[in-house]
Amino acid sequence: MQDGRKRDEDSPPLQVQGVQVWGLQRRLVFAGTPGESYRLYYSSAEARRPSYDIERVFPYLATDALPLAGLGSEALNPSFVERKQPLSERLPWLLPTAVAVAAIFVALLLLAVVRNAKKLLPPPPPQP
């Protein structure tokens, strides 16, 4: 350091005294029976956002005194079967190729019909 000032990456490490984290608290409110166990399935890419009437009245409900439950360990759903994509999405080239082959086949068929029609038709009358 020629002029006595500190440059980038020459600063001393920060003295961190603590960390505060903010985020959204997610709540799941439902009518449950004490002593029963429930399963929570989540993370479906195909699921659409549900729309419930309770969304409009929930802010006015007294939910502070409701019993709390905890989540158990996370596990894979053994009965989940992943849906295969439609064939048109797995093989996007298949439909245009099939249409092109069908078009060529129809063109060749029409060409053969025209050739056979020329053989069967009488020749045109001579021009004077």
45 is a domain residue: no
Q: Does 4 reside within a domain?
A: no
d(CA 50, CA 85): 23
**pLDDT-flagged residues of the chain (< 50):** 1
- Please check whether residue 117 lies inside any domain of the structure: yes
128 occurs within a structural domain: no
Is 9 domain-assigned? no
Q: What are φ and ψ of residue 113, in 5° steps?
A: -65, -45
Measured CA to CA, the distance from residue 107 to residue 105 in angstroms comes to: 5
pLDDT, tens only, 72-108: 888 888 888 888 888 888 899 999 999 999 999 999 9
Answer for the pair 83, 46: CB distance below 8 angstroms, yes or no: yes
In a domain, 47, yes or no: no
What's the pLDDT at 34? 83
Place of tokens 């500190």: 6
Domain count, the chain: 1
8 A C-beta contact, residue 100 and residue 93: no
Q: Is residue 11 part of a domain?
A: no
**Would you say 9 and 18 are in contact if contact means Cβ atoms under 8 Å apart?**
no
pTM of the complete model:
0.41
**pLDDT given at position 2:** 55
Question: Does residue 53 fall inside a structural domain?
Answer: no
**Which pLDDT score, from 0 to 100, does residue 19 have?**
92
Please give the pLDDT value at position 8. 67
Instruction: For residue 111, give its domain range.
Output: 86-122
